[in-house]
Every structure is written in structure tokens, then in C-alpha cells.
Structure 1
Amino acid sequence: MQTVQKPKAMGKSPRSFKRRKYTKLDKIIFFSLFIVHIACIFAPFHFTWPAFCVAFALYFITGLCISVSYHRNLAHKSFKLPKSMEYFLAYCAAHALQGDPIDWVSTHRCHHQFVDTEKDPHSPIEGFWFSHITWLFDSYNLTKKVCPNYFTDFQKVDRSIFIWFSKHGRPDNVRDLEKQTFYRFIHKTYFLHHILLAILLYQVGGLPFLIWGTCVRIVVLMHVTFMVNSVCHIWGKRRWNTKDLSRNNWLVGLLAFGEGWHNNHHAFEYSARFGLQWWQIDFGWYTIRVLQAIGVAKNVKLPSTIHKQRLFIDY
């Protein structure tokens, strides 16, 4: 019988807010997220069915593209796309307000490299709320984790008003994206695209479209995505013998387009399919299958039977 490696325990005390070194970037990010959360208070007073439908459609498009593009295609190279399709999906994902492709992929690759250790950018070993959201306001330590080779004087980084990413240094684990003009452009003009979309929504449907299509949609999708970092490393079932805290959580899997099958993902990082059982709903995988069927997605990677047998937990 296989020896099961126990996942790391959540024994580290979270850093106190008072003992953190807050930077100007932390304050900008906090203020931006505070505004979109506060705006949601007014959503019930500006509810219309067209606004709700716009919010739902944008939630589905941007959330699905975070999973398919940022995560499976760019971060893990689980499949290949023509550049035009790759850039289109990445541009849609960028409107989720979760970071530009370079920043998002860099942070996620670091998460997998140092999962549930002190070098993990967002592990619950430092507390639930840290893994869920407050890691975003800890750019000083986040930079040391993800960009150690570039961590010199973080206060001397020039920034455009349209740049919004969560690190002060230049990461060295996304050179494949940094070589491409498109991703450098999105990196440098990131926030501008959100402003343009917000203006478009306001012009089309007024305040209801702006509040629901921007604020409500961003806040809901943001917390659903962040549940993968927090909930899926605390609550759920483990099918595979990984060395981390990852769990499969069906509710997050349903809401986050398959991302909630997180133990599956950590066991087989390279796999384009997260919901490995027929009953594990995975909209990201269904999308990739459609792209594969029409000849757009190539070199789609899946876990082998041997790999599954080696990691399967046999109680």
C-alpha cells in the first residue's frame, strides 16, 4: 500500500497588519478595491434585468478566460493556441481586474514552486484572510517572494497611472511573456482598459450598467477566484497524494469554471483538464475541448494513467 504524504499543517501565525510595511502601491490597490466594494452597496437601488444580464455575461467571459487563458494556457502551457486567439482570450481575462498577464502568471508560477511554504505568495499557513485577499496589500513581502533577484529599492520604481500590479520588482519567471510586445503593452496600460470598459458600459446603459457590469461583476468574480487560494487549501477532499494543502471543493469548482478541483490541479499541474471525473463540472475544460474539436487548440495535455496510479490515495 502506498505511503501517503501528509499535507503541511497550518501552524504559522499570520503577520499582524501593524507589523507590515505598507507601501504606496498597497494603498492604491486597497483604495481601488475599496471603491468597487462600496459601489456594490448601491447595486440593489440600480437593479435592472439588462444590467444583471450584462454583469452575468461579463462574469462568465472574464472568469472563463482567467481559467482558460491566464491559468491553463499561459501559466502552465497546458495547450497551444494561435497567437491571435491567445491574445484575444488574455485580453478578455485582463478585464477581471486580477492583474495583467505578466503579473498574474508570475505570481501563480511562484505559488506552485513554493506551494504552502513561507515563500508562497498566498498560502493559508499565514491565515485564511491572508490567502484570500490581504496578500494583495503586502507588496513589500510579495516582491521579496516573487522577484527576489530584483528586490533592491522598491520605492524607486517609476509607475504610470495606468499600471496596476501587485509587485515592485521585475519577476524572472515570465520571460516567455515579457518577450512579447502584446503582454508588455497590457502590463504598461493595464488600468486604462478597465477605465475604457467602464466608460463604454456607462454610455450604453447608464449607472445600472456601470455598477452591475463593472463593480458587482468584478467583486463577485474576485472573491470566487480568491476562494481557490483560501477555501481550496482548507476545505474539501483530497484524492491525490500531493505535498501541499490543496483540496477539491465542488462549490468553488462550479462557481470558478473548474478551478475548484484544486487537488486535481496540484497533482497534475500540466493538465488542461481539472475536473478529472465525469461529474466534476469544469467549464474551462469544456471550452478547451470545443477549441480542440474545431482545430484551434493543439497539444492538449492530460495526466497519464501511470501518473494517476502513482499519486492516487488508496485508503
Structure 2
Amino acid sequence: MTSNSMQTVTAGGQPLVLNWVNVVFFGSIHLLALLAPWFFSWSALGAAIFLHWLLGSIGICLGYHRLLTHRSFQVPKPLEYIIATIGALALQGGPIFWVSGHRQHHLYTEDADKDPYAASRGFWWSHMLWLLYPRAEFFKRETYQKYAPDLARDPYYRWLDSNFLLLQIPLGLLLFALGGWSFVIYGSILRAVILWHSTWSINSATHMTGYRSFEVEDGSRNLWWAALLTYGEGWHNNHHAHPNVAKAGWKWWEVDVTWWAIQVLKTLGLAKKVVMPPQSSASAN
């Protein structure tokens, strides 16, 4: 045990260590978000909403998730780099880290030891405690990168994985130039907190409650409010049944904003080899 950690034990008997650097980091951002009422302006709120969509839907959902993790469609490499950089601005880790963790989630869904955010460990573990008790196999690049060798071979993705935190500096300076501290608090701090919990709800809530369109071996569910918060990712049972399909919402009323963006790219000729739902499953829905 070190001076900045506290030790406990997992269900499998392996030690877990509370990482105080992570606790202070996430705790500080949450505390700073409480300043929002004193810095309110409608334009700052608009900036936060816009960046929640841009960094969340385009960067994380479309970029990190459907494009890089599952390769459910292809775009030209320069555009792929731009989208991945937008994802890195979301403050959810570098692309190799994010992609490798999600691929392990699909390979070992709800396995208490092999799924980084296994819902079998309970709501709060899958929601955020996995970040506060980081396990080396999920957080050390030399270990996790083997699950994303396609990205690990790319020099730009290696750089982005190491330097994603530095991208917050130009983002913060841009927001300050546009609207002062209110834009920084809303567009960077409050946006990050809301986007974190939006994304984390897919790891936690959609493995706890909702409906199932497909009988799969895990506990994934379709959850409408999580889908609204995450631009379509909340149709999680659909996704676990067919993870490489670019479309998450299959029924007409399953709103999937990220899929709309993919359709725009396809119409413009920028998205190729878009993986669609199997005809038999799509017609059943």
C-alpha cells in the first residue's frame, strides 16, 4: 500500500487500489461544475449543449464507438483522425484506451474479472468506481493496447492516447476567448460532468433496467432515457445482439441521433461499407 492509495479486495480475491489521483481529478471537476449557477448565461448553456452533442455524439458515439471500436463503417483516414480528435476532447481517455476497454466489454460482458466495467459488480462499479479503482490490465497501455492493435500501430493514435489531456488547454482557451469564464465553466467543466454520466449510464443503467428485443447471454437492455442522453447508445440490447451494426435504434421510434450523422456522411459519400442490420432481424423489429 502506498501513501496515495487504499487497498480492498475484489470478489475474486485480487487486490483493488483506490487511486487518489483519479479521486481528486474527478472530484475536483464535479465540484467546479457546482459553480455553474453563478456563471449562467444562455449563450454559455448553448455552448455546453452544442459541445455535449459534438464531443458526445460525434466524438464518442460515432467516432470512438461505432467507427473505431466496431468498424461499423469507414471514412477517409484524415476524417477519421478529425473525428477521433473530437472524441479525445471529450475527456474520456485516449482512443486506444477507450477502444480496448470497450472491446473487452464485448468479449467478456459482465465477467467480474475480465469486463472493465462489469455490471455484475453492481451499479456503482460499472458506472464509475472502475475508474477510481483502476486495474493495471485495463489502464496500462502496454497491457490494454493488445485489444486495439489496429490503433496501437498508428503513430497518431499513440500520440493522441498519450496527450488527450493536453487538448483541454486549447479548448479551454477557445471557450474563454468566445465567452469568458462562463463558457469555460459550462462548455468545458459542466459539459464534461454531464457527458461522463451520460456515457457511464450505458455501462450501468442499460445493464440493469429496460426492455429486451433480443435474447442475448448478457443483461443488456434498451433504455429510452439513456438513448436520449447518449444520442442512440441506450438501445444497448440491440447493440449487444449485433455490435458491428452501425445503427443502434432499430424500431421506428428508437431515436438514434448518431445514426442520423452517419447517414449524412453516407449521403455525402464520406461513409463507406456501412454495416446494416441483418434483413431478418430488421424486419422482425
TM-score, normalised relative to structure 2: 0.90
Please say if 1:42 is aligned against 2:35.
yes
Give the match for residue 140 of structure 2: 167
Match for 1:240: what amino acid? F
Query: Which residue does 1:52 correspond to in 2?
Result: 45
- Among candidates 59, 62, 66, match of residue 55 of structure 2: 62
Q: What's 2:132 paired with? A: 137
Instruction: Identify the match of residue 77 of structure 2 among 72, 83, 86.
Output: 83
Number of the residue aligned with 2:93 = 99
Q: Is the 8 A contact 2:84 2:95 kept in 1?
A: yes
What is the aligned partner in structure 1 of residue 172 from structure 2? 198
SS of residue in 2 equivalent to 1:22: strand
**Superposition deviation, residue 106 in structure 1:** 0.4
Return the alpha-carbon distance in structure 1 between the equivalents of residues 225 and 20 of structure 2.
32
Q: Aligned pair 1:22/2:44, yes or no?
A: no
Residue of structure 1 equivalent to 2:205 = 231
Contact 1:240 1:264 in 2 (8 A): yes
* Secondary structure class of the residue paired with 1:21: strand
Q: Distance in 2 between matches of 1:201 and 1:296?
A: 29
Aligned to 1:247: 221
Kept in 2: contact 1:20–1:138 (CA 8 A): no
Letter matched to residue 268 of structure 1: H
CA–CA distance in structure 1, aligned partners of residues 243 and 183 of structure 2: 37
Render the CA deviation track for 1:71-97: whole Å, top value 9, x for unaligned: 000000000000111111111111111
Partner-residue secondary structure (3-state), 2:213: coil
Gaps of 5+ in 2: 1-8
Q: From the superposition, tell whether residues 138 and 167 of structure 1 become closer, same or farther in structure 2 (CA, over 3 Å).
A: farther
* Alpha-carbon distance in structure 1 between the residues aligned to 2:190 and 2:37: 10
- Counterparts of 2:282 and 2:268 in 1: how far apart (Å)? 28
The answer (yes or no) to whether the contact 2:96–2:161 under 8 Å persists in 1 is yes
Question: Could you give the per-residue CA deviations for residues 162-199 of structure 1, whole angstroms, max 9, x where no partner exists?
Answer: xxxx4364321111001112111111212110122112
Residue deviations 1:208-239, cap 9 Å, x none?
11111111000001101100000000010011
2:194 and 2:163 map into 1 onto residues whose CA distance is 24
Number of aligned residue pairs? 272
C-alpha distance in 2, partners of 1:275/1:90? 23
- Residue by residue over 1:264-305, the C-alpha shift from the partner in whole angstroms, topping out at 9 and shown as x without a partner, is 000001100000111110011111011111110000001213
**Distance change >3 Å, CA 199–CA 28, structure 1 → 2:** farther
Q: Which amino acid aligns with 2:180?
A: G
Q: Distance in 2 between matches of 1:244 and 1:305?
A: 23
Give the corresponding residue for 2:5: none
2: CA distance, partners of 1:276 / 1:101:
27
Contact 1:15–1:126 under 8 Å retained in 2 = no
Q: How far apart, in 1, do the equivalents of 2:23 and 2:170 lie?
A: 21
Match of 2:237 in 1: 263
Alignment check: 8 A CA contact 1:139 1:168 kept: no
Contact 2:209 2:221 in 1 (8 A): yes
| Structure 1 unmatched ranges of 5 or more | 1-13, 147-165
Distance 1:98 1:228 in 2: 14
2:110 is matched with 116
Q: Hey, what does 1:218 align to over in structure 2?
A: 192
In structure 1, give the amino acid aligned to 2:275: K
Q: Distance in 2 between matches of 1:192 and 1:254?
A: 30
RMSD: 1.9
User: Could you tell me the percent identity over the aligned residues?
Assistant: 38
Amino acid corresponding to residue 88 of structure 1 in structure 2: I
